[in-house]
Amino acid sequence: MNEVIQEMNIFDLIEVMRIEEESFVKKWSMNDFLYELIVNEKAKYFVYKMNNKIIAYIGEWHLEDEIHIANLAVDLNYRKKGIATKLLKATMERANFLNVNIISLEVRLSNINAINLYEKIGFIKTDILENYYEIEDGVRMVYKIAGGINGK
C-alpha cells in the first residue's frame, strides 16, 4: 500500500467534493474550496492519498500564532482506520515547525466521533459556542504545542 499526504490542488477537487458531500450536513461548495486554494493566502490544504486515490483531506488556516483547522473529512469507506489521526499528526508537525502556540478548531457539539478523535490526540474543549451552527451549539477545541514560541 502506498500512502502519501500532499498539498491539495484544484485538480483534486472532484474527488474532494465527493468526500465533502458524504461527510457534512452543511457542505462546502466547489467555490468555497476554490476560494481557499486560490484566494486565501492563509489557507493550506492537504489530501491523504492511498494508492493514488484521495481518501481524506484537511484544511488549515495558518494564522499569526496558531493553526486553525477549517475542514477535515475521511471517505466513508475508510473511516476508523487511523487516517484522520495521521492527518492531524502531520498538522502537529507543521505547527511545531512553524513554532506556533496552538492548533484550534470548532466542531458541532453533536459530532461525538470528531470530538472523540480530537480528545484522543490531546485537544481539550475550551469554549461552548452557543448557536454557532445556526440552531446547534459548537465547541472550540485547542491543542497546545509544547514549547510554542510564547510558551502559552
Ligand X SMILES: CC(C)(COP(=O)(O)OP(=O)(O)OC[C@H]1O[C@@H](n2cnc3c(N)ncnc32)[C@H](O)[C@@H]1OP(=O)(O)O)[C@@H](O)C(=O)NCCC(=O)NCCS
Summary count for the chain: helices (H), strands (E):
4, 7
Q: 2 or 150, CB closer to ligand X?
A: 2
Copy the grid coordinates of residue 106. Answer: 470548532
Minimum CB separation from ligand X for residue 149, in Å? 26
CA distance 16 to 38: 16
Q: 37 or 73, CB closer to ligand X?
A: 73
Contacts of ligand X in 13-42 (CB under 6 A): 23-24
Stretch that binds ligand X, among 43-51, 71-79, 94-102, 127-135 (CB under 6 A): 71-79
Minimum CB separation from ligand X for residue 102, in Å? 16
- The separation between the first and the last C-alpha atoms of the chain, rounded to the nearest angstrom, is 40
Q: 13 or 72, CB closer to ligand X?
A: 72
Q: What is the DSSP-derived secondary structure letter of residue 55?
A: E
**Rule CB under 6 A: which residues touch ligand X?**
23-24, 72-74, 79-85, 107, 111, 113-114, 116-117, 120
